[in-house]
Amino acid sequence: MDLLLSSHVLGELDGAGRAALAAEARRARAVIFVEPGLRTVSRDLGRLRDELLLEPGPGGLPRVVLGPCTHSEACGLFAAGRERDWCHFFAAPDPEVFTTAAWREFSRRLSIDLRSVPYSYVALGSGAEGLSQAPASGGEVQLRILGRPRLEKGQAKLDACDASGVRVLRMLERDDRAFVKQLAEPSGLARAFHAAVDGDRIRSIH
C-alpha cells in the first residue's frame, strides 16, 4: 500500500479497532492521520506515532516523520511533567461560517468557537521521503510551535518542539515585533521555523 489516509477516526475506535488501524498503517509506505485537537485523542495519536517509528516500513525502510515534528525521535510530550500537554494546531475556518445562519446555529448549539478550529495530525514516510525538511544552519535549531502562544507584556511565551523535546521558550517583542504580532493568530502557526535560541529565549526566528 502506498498511502493510508485516516481522518477523525482514532477517537472513535476501541482497542481492537485501534489495533486494526495500526496494522493497516504498518502496511503503508506513507501514512497521514488527521484528528481533532483534543488532548486525549492527540496524545493517543502521539503514542501511535511512536509505535510505528519502532518498526521499519514496507521493504525494510526506516520510518521517518514528515510532519508536524521536525525530527523522528520519540515524542517529547511523553516526558515527565508533560502529562497535561498535547500537540495541536489551529486551522483557519472557511469565511462562510461567519456569514451563514446554519453555521451560527451549529456553533451556538454545540458551544464551538468557529473562529479557530483545533486539530492534530501526523504524517509518516519511509526512507528518503523524510528528507524534505530543510536543515537548520549552524547555531540554529529547527522547531515547531505547538498550541496557542501566550502573549504577555513585552514578550510571548510558546511551547516549542524540536529533537531535544518540548520546552517553553520566550520571544521578546523588541527582538522581533512583527513576529510577536503574528503569534496572536494561531491559525498561521502550523509550520516549522529555524531559530537561534539562548537558554529559554529566542534571539531570532525565520
Check whether residue 123 and residue 158 sit in a common domain: no
In this structure, is residue 101 part of a structural domain? no
Q: Say what the pLDDT of residue 24 is.
A: 95
Check whether residue 154 and residue 123 sit in a common domain: no
Q: CA-CA distances (angstroms) from residue 52 to 25, 55, 106?
A: 8, 6, 37
- Domain ends where: 105, 128, 151? 128
Q: How many structural domains compose the chain?
A: 2
Check whether residue 179 and residue 124 sit in a common domain: no
* Cα dihedral value 119, 190, 28, 62, nearest 10: -130
Structural domain boundaries, residue 156: 141-205
Assess whether pLDDT exceeds 70 at residue 77. yes
In this structure, is residue 56 part of a structural domain? yes
Whole-structure pTM value: 0.82
Check whether residue 166 and residue 192 sit in a common domain: yes
Check whether residue 52 and residue 152 sit in a common domain: no
CA distance 191 to 179: 14
Read off the pLDDT of residues 161-188 as tens digits, 9 standing for 90 and up: 998 899 999 999 999 998 888 888 766 6
- Domain ends where: 65, 100, 128? 128
Q: Which residue has the higher pLDDT, 60 or 97?
A: 60
**Phi, psi (degrees; rounded to nearest 5) at 3:** -145, 135
Check whether residue 164 and residue 122 sit in a common domain: no
Check whether residue 124 and residue 34 sit in a common domain: yes
- Domain ends where: 128, 154, 177? 128
Q: Which stretches within the chain are classed as H helix?
A: 15-27, 39-53, 101-110, 177-182
Read off the pLDDT of residues 86-132 as tens digits, 9 standing for 90 and up: 999 888 777 777 788 887 787 777 676 666 788 999 999 987 554 44
In this structure, is residue 37 part of a structural domain? yes
Check whether residue 13 and residue 75 sit in a common domain: yes
In this structure, is residue 107 part of a structural domain? no
CA distance 59 to 78: 29
**Adjacent-strand bridge partners of 160:** 145, 167
CA distance 48 to 203: 34
Check whether residue 24 and residue 122 sit in a common domain: yes
E-only strand ranges, 84-138: 89-91, 117-126
DSSP result, 159-205 = EEEETTEEEEEEEETTT-HHHHHHTT-GGG--SEEEEEEETTEEEEE
C-alpha cell at position 33: 492521520
**Phi, psi (degrees; rounded to nearest 5) at 88:** -155, 160
Confidence of residue 137 (pLDDT cuts 50, 70, 90): low
